[in-house]
Amino acid sequence: MADVHLPPTLPPLFPGLPRHLDVAAASVREAIDSLDARWPGLRDRVCEGAELRRHIRVFVDGERAGLDTPLPAGARLDVIAAISGG
Amino acid sequence: MSRVLVMIGTRKGAFLLESDEARRDWELRGPYCEGWPVYHVVHDADNGAIYAAAASAWHGAAVWRSLDLGETWEHSSEGLTYGEDAPLRLSKVSGLAAGHGRVLAGAEAAGVFESRDGGVTWRLLSTLDDQPGREDWNVASNQPPGHLGMPGLLQHPDDPDRFWVVVQGFGAFETTDGGATWTPRNRGLRADWPLEHEEVGFCVHKLVMSPADHERLYQQNHCGMHRSDDAGRSWTEITEGLPSDFGFAAAAHPHDRDAFYVVPLDGGHGRVVPDGRMAVWRTRDAGGSWEQLTRGLPESAYVGVLREGMAIDSLPAPGLYVGTSTGQLFASADEGDSWREIAGYLPGISSVEVAVLD
């Protein structure tokens, strides 16, 4: 299980989606796929095609990560929206 | 009694204004769409749905929909893509048109999508690949500062297979077979720059059709106002009498084929109303002469009005609605003779549309 933390901009888009939840996944990509299966369309909000969106970053246990980064048991996955706007 | 619903797209979400036929007292609701920048909000008279084209800097482009006049909203971008390996990237949906049992979405980069299930899923209809110069449309150096997309969509009211699209900086194109083939419709337009192709390279800002005569089209172009009496096959310039040849917004009177409204802007970098004098201009003789309408509109107001920034309702004495880049919504209930602000302190307004609900 990974301890997944989502940006505050995501839960309002998908009814029932919490900010923090446990997801069974072996990689960042699997975690996002798993969330997309429960909340259809979520992948499109963090990925563009096969890549992460330009203003989305992911960190595994505090280290910058990508979609292929493995998720060890108990890892923390942070999905971050860029600090931008105005 | 009918209700009048004004739909407003802003830099920070969508808003709705509602009134009765008198159009005197307005109730404002919103913001909707989670504060995403909203480029166009339209009403589908077939099923009562509201659709909003939006794009979040973080979460990408989607079309939002509400089946209960704004009470609840959902969004979808399923199918709104040129594909993972395609050279085109979809950065936003710029314009929408609903009717004939479908929703059309014009996207940036330039392409038109359709949904036949009320905005739940989308499919690419066309990227106009056979048009002159199409291979150059997405070359970065050819792209105008405001991006290159397909912001304008105009449906024929009676023929579902016939509609027009506007590609920024290249012109208007018509299909009569549901998007399978296209014809440039830019003859007679002015371009103040060299053209590489006779039929394309024109900067169409806004295309509207007279509800009273479907052969009568008007357009605000980067280079002047123009009228067509043959559904866009040829154009005649009707700029004379206006304070500038530049502007974005345009509206056609619902009952009078010769009456039409524009908001001329300074064509330089500012692109606000000339001399800070906000005015809507009206012709009642198909562009033969123009009348400046200012009663109730502000002076010392350096405001802009964008492409979808003006709408007109279909009541017997049509009401007009103009939204500014600084978040004011001005309305007239007497065909433009007098105006008042019916909403202020909104985020910058991208689009205004209106529906009369029975």
CB contact under 8 A, B58 and A50: no
Supply the pLDDT for residue B140: 66
First and final CA of chain A: distance in angstroms? 36
Please report, in tens digits, the pLDDT of each residue of chain B (358 residues total).
899 999 999 999 999 999 999 999 999 999 999 999 999 999 999 999 999 999 999 999 999 999 999 999 999 999 999 998 888 889 999 999 999 999 999 999 999 999 999 999 999 999 999 898 888 777 766 665 556 788 889 999 999 999 999 998 899 999 999 999 999 999 999 999 989 899 999 999 999 999 999 999 999 999 999 999 999 999 999 999 999 999 999 999 999 999 999 999 998 878 999 999 999 999 999 999 999 999 999 999 999 999 999 999 999 999 999 999 999 999 999 999 999 999 999 999 999 999 999 8
Is A2-81 CATH 3.90.870.30? Answer: no
First and final CA of chain B: distance in angstroms? 7
Structure tokens at A25: 């996944």
Q: How confident is the model at residue A82 (pLDDT cuts 50, 70, 90)?
A: confident
ipTM of the complex: 0.91
CB contact under 8 A, B84 and A13: no
Q: What would the pLDDT profile of B335-350 be if each residue is shown by its tens digit?
A: 999 999 999 999 999 9
Using H for helix, E for strand and C for coil, what is the string for B220-238?
EECCEEEEECCCCCCCEEC
The whole domain housing B318 covers 3-357
Structure tokens at B317: 């004495």
Domains held by chain B: number: 1
- Mutation target to probe the B interface, by most B beta carbons within 10 A, among A6, A32, A44, A67 is A44
Q: What would the pLDDT profile of A15-40 be if each residue is shown by its tens digit?
A: 999 999 999 999 999 999 999 999 99
Judge contact between B339 and B293, C-beta under 8 A: yes
Which residues in chain A have their CB less than 8 angstroms from residue B77's CB? 41, 44
B88 part of contact set with chain A, CB < 8 Å: no
Q: How many CA atoms lie within 13 A of B130 on its CB side?
A: 9
Q: What is the CATH number of the domain that holds B335?
A: 2.130.10.10
CA distances from B178 to B100, B156, B189 (A): 11, 11, 25
Burial B156-193 (b: 16+ CB within 10 A, else e): beeeeebbbbbbbbbbbbbbeebbeebebbbeebebee
Place of tokens 């919103």: B30
DSSP string, B80-96: -SS-TT-S----EEEEE
Give dist(CA B351, CA B95) in Å, integer. 10
Residue among B34, B4, B1, B2 nearest B16 (CA): B4
Which residues in chain A have their CB less than 8 angstroms from residue B63's CB? none
**Over chain A, what is the mean pLDDT?**
95
Supply the pLDDT for residue B133: 82
Give me the amino acid identity at B230. D
Structure tokens at B54: 């939006």
Give dist(CA B307, CA B261) in Å, integer. 13
Which residues in chain A have their CB less than 8 angstroms from residue B59's CB? 9-10, 13, 45-46, 53, 56, 81
Verify cis geometry, omega within 30 degrees of 0, for the bond prior to B109: yes
